[in-house]
Every structure is written in C-alpha cells, then in structure tokens.
Structure 1
Amino acid sequence: MRTVLICHADDAFDRRGLASWLASFSTLAGVVVLEETGAQKRQRYLREFRRVGLLGMLDVAAMRVYQRIFQRRADQAWFRHALAAMEARYGPTPEVRELHVARGGDRRVVAFLHELRPDIVLARCKQLLPRKVFSIPRDGTFVMHPGICPEYRNAHGCFWAIAERDLGRVGMTLLRIDAGIDTGPVFGHYRYDFDERRESHAVIQARVVLENLDALAVRFAQIHAGTATPVDTAGRRSGEWGQPRLSRHLRARRAMRVAEVNG
C-alpha cells in the first residue's frame, strides 16, 4: 500500500509523528508540506467573520486569547510528549520526497501525486482539496476529522460536542473526501476516555488519533484490500460548526462543574 501525507509545515505531530506511523505499515511515498501565506490565513478569518458577524468573531478571538494564556503551555508539553512517544514506537521521521507549496490545489501537487501513484492520501490540513487532487489516489483521500460526523462537521467537532454537552460524540471520524465539507463516506468513528477537566479540546482531538493508531492502521489495510464497508449514517442529523468560542467554553465548564456536584 502506497501512501502520501498532506500536512502543514508547522505541525510536528503530523509531519513527523504521523509520517513515522504511516511508514510503519505502508510505503510512505512522499509528503506534501503546506506552507500557508499570511493572506491565506486572513482569508480563513474573513470567511468566519462573514459567517458569524462582529460579535461572534470577538467571541472567537477571546477564545484564542484564553487558549494562549491558560492552555498553551500544557498543550505544548502534551504534544512534545506525544511526538516523542510516536517516534519511540515507530522510529524517526522517514526520509521521503517532500513537495512544499502554499495551496493543496496547486498544479504541482497534482503532478506530484500522479508521479508517486499513491493508493491512499491522508490529508491532515485545514484547506479544502479540489477534486483534481482528492480523486487521484486509487483508494481515495482520507481525513481524520476531529469530530463525529455527520453531527459535527467542520474543523472543531470535539469542541462543539463538549460545548453542546453531547459527550458521547466527542471523537474522530475517518472519512473519504468528496466534493462536500466532511460529507464523504464514513469508514469509522473513534473515541477514547477523555478528561474534559484536564485536557483542552486541542489535546482531545489529537489524542483521539494517537489512542487509535493501531485500529486506524488496520482500517486503512482493509480499505486498500477492498474489504472495508462504510458506516451507514443515513437519517442522522448533520451539522456544520465554526470556530471555538469563549462563551461556549465557559458555559461548558460551568455545566461540567454542576454535573460533578450533582453526580
């Protein structure tokens, strides 16, 4: 099974840790490294602003400040430990071909994938990939979506499941990309016994990947062998969520404390 990883340049968990994991059970043929520009990041914020308005965007910005002040240090320590654990188990980052681009839809990505002929592409990126890219691998392009789909689509499903107190749907979805936003066939839902008191949503959405790497490797092998059957999600509600908001985080913390007192 030949694989290719698409990830962001500044995400060592993916670029080093998941690359080592992929190389442990497949032939990792290459890595597409996304080096986003400032303009691209501003466009992402502008899209969110248009979606939620000024007050919503202030709430989003407040959450970013909160994370930086109260969560960042612990999060960074966890990610360092997680990366060390992955490299200890799967070995150092493999030396494979890399393509550095700003956009996942760059024509050079198309040429790179055609040349490498992957069976599976694992897309660990915030960008939506066009059909000309995600349709190249024989078995499909997959994402480990941080949320249970279809109920919690978009990039922060774990946060919103906690905010909604829908704790049974805090997890990760393995799905194959199609033309929609997290609407492709689902090949598995994955969870772990998270601790919302001590773990930030950033850690939860990374740890649910880390805790399920063995099961994910098996699932990818089944997909490649043609024996994997998609999960039936017909009739389930579908929701697209936005960026984390401080007001919803604080409300969830209060609900958690009340439940602890009453529990």
Structure 2
Amino acid sequence: MSAVATGKKIVLLAGPGESTDILFHALDEEFGVHRVIIETPISQQQLLKRRTQKLGYATVAGQILFKLLIAVPLAKASQLRLKNIRLQAKLDNRPVPDDRVLSVASVNSAECIAALQELQADVIVVNGTRIISKKVLTSVSCPFINTHAGITPLYRGVHGGYWALTQNDRAHCGVSVHLVDPGIDTGAIIAQALIEPTSEDNFVTYPLLQLAAGLPLLKQAVYDALRGEVQLKKPPTGESRLWSHPTLAEYLRYRRMNGTQ
C-alpha cells in the first residue's frame, strides 16, 4: 500500500462487471479500498425504453441487431485476445470479495448518499454507473474521479475508442481520467492516454486496452487527490460529441470504408 494512503479512505462507486473487478484489485493493491458500493443496473427493458425515446425505434433496432449479429459472436471469438491483454497488463478480474461490497438500488438513491456520508471517503472512484446527480456529488466534500473509455470531450458517451477509429482519428483513440460532474463525461480532465490497437483487436477488445492504459493514470490521479494536488489538463480541441452504440448498418459501413472492426 502507498504510504500516502495510510489513514485515508478510498471508496469505489460502481456498477457490476469485469471492469469494476479489475479496478478494485488494482486500487486495493496500490492504496487499499475501504468499501465498494455497487448499484443495481437499470433493467434491459427500461434501458431500451429510454434509448427508444431518445434515439427512435429504427436506431435502437439497428443497435440490437449489431449486438446480436456482431458483438456477441465477436466476443466469443475474441476470448484468447482478451486473455492475452489481461496477462500482458497484469489485470486481475477476480470478483470483488462479497465482504467489501455494499449494494444499493442506485447511485442516486438516498441510501447511497447516506452510505457515502457515513463512509467519509477521501476519494471516490467511479466506474460504470448511471449518470450521477448533482445531489450525490455535493453530498460529500471529496472528489469523484472516473475513467472514461474515450478522449473527452471529443468522444463522450460509449465506445470512444471504436468511434475514434471509425473517424480515422487515431490521434484521439484513447482513455481519459476526469473529475465527475452532473454531465455526461463533461468533467474536468486530469489525464489522458492513447492506445495502439493491433490487427488482432476489435470492438470487443478496445475497452480492455483502454482500461489497461487508464489504470496508471487513475492511480496517479488518486495519489494526487489524496495529497490535494490534482492538476487539471486543457481539453483537446475539436467538436464535443456524445456517441451511442453503433447500429448494424453503421458497423458494416465503417468496416467497408476503413476496416474498423
């Protein structure tokens, strides 16, 4: 454990999943994680309803087709590559121990606010949650830090690495560590790094490459936050855009145009 973390409390506020497991073990080894608060994910039915209201039936239908016909088979075919990335980056994806977990219905619930206030964390690391409300962010005085799979503010939303490649924008294919605000990936930038996908990589493996590249940045950000020395970076220039999941037609078009997998 880092000496600077002695007597300090780091809380992980997250959704369930492999990235949360990996973040927990990386941070626990470096600093010691005091507690992991995990929210219950939004149901698929509710998620589809919200997407349809925002994007329309045609787009959501295309996203569902992409998941069924491309993403699921691609995930099965990419298991060896994913395993090699974990080995090369020394990523530990064992489940978070049950005795370290506090479950809540939502990060925006009253029970979550009460837990955060009781835990009195010095730093809260966020991963894979729904958008956190201002009420939660202001309920405690410590910083909330997030790792985003994309270079913000150019690639906000989801699959930032993939979308950068579809735009032939390798100069912004990477990962960001930033402070959390009530917006969608709009918080002030602490650090950013690029990834270099190989011919073996694809839509399924990009996020794991981004996580591996982001972990050293996150550790440094937590270290600086514990010392009260976080320094913010100037964002890259360009259009700030919110990206969603690709549709089947989009994926096939970009694969034909520039080979993005």
TM-score, structure 2 length as denominator? 0.84
Tell me which residue corresponds to 1:7: 14
1:157 to 1:67, Cα distance in 2 relative to 1, 3 A: same
What is the root-mean-square deviation in Å for CA atoms of aligned residues? 2.7
Q: 2:39 aligns with which of 23, 34, 41?
A: 34
One-letter identity of the residue aligned with 2:252: L
3-state SS in 1 of match to 2:156: coil
Inter-partner Cα distance in structure 2 for 1:28 and 1:67: 37
1:118 shift after superposition: 1.2
Q: Residue 189 of structure 2 contacts residue 232 of structure 2 at CA under 8 Å; is this kept in 1?
A: yes
Structure 1's 77 and 112: CA in aligned 2 closer, same or farther, altered over 3 A? farther
Cα drift, residue 186 of structure 1: 0.7
Which consecutive residues of structure 1, in runs of 5 or more, have no partner in the other structure?
none
1:198 maps to 200
Corresponding residue to 2:24 among 2, 19, 23: 19
Mapped contact 1:163–1:248 kept (Cα < 8 A) = no
Q: Which amino acid aligns with 2:9?
A: R
Distance between the aligned counterparts of 2:237 and 2:209, measured in 1?
Answer: 29
Aligned counterpart for 1:142 among listed residues 137, 142, 145 = 145
Deviation at 1:27, TM superposition (A): 3.0
- CA distance in 1: counterparts of 2:176 and 2:234, whole angstroms: 13
* Misfit runs of 4+, over 4 Å: 75-84, 91-96
* TM norm structure 1: 0.83
Partner of 1:97: 100
State the partner residue of 1:255.
257
Q: Report sequence identity in percent.
A: 21
The structural deviation recorded for 1:153 is: 0.9
Cα separation, 1, equivalents of 2:20 and 2:57: 33
Which structure carries more helix by proportion? 1
**Which ranges of structure 2 fall in alignment gaps of 5 or more residues?**
1-7
Question: Could you say what secondary structure the match of 1:127 adopts?
Answer: coil
Give the match for residue 166 of structure 1.
169
> SS at the partner of 2:205?
helix
1:87 has 2:87 as partner = no
Greater displacement, 205-214 / 146-155: 205-214
Alignment deviations for residues 75-103 of structure 1 (CA, whole Å, 9 cap, x no partner): 45555565673239xx9956753211221
CA contact (8 A) 2:85 2:208 kept: no
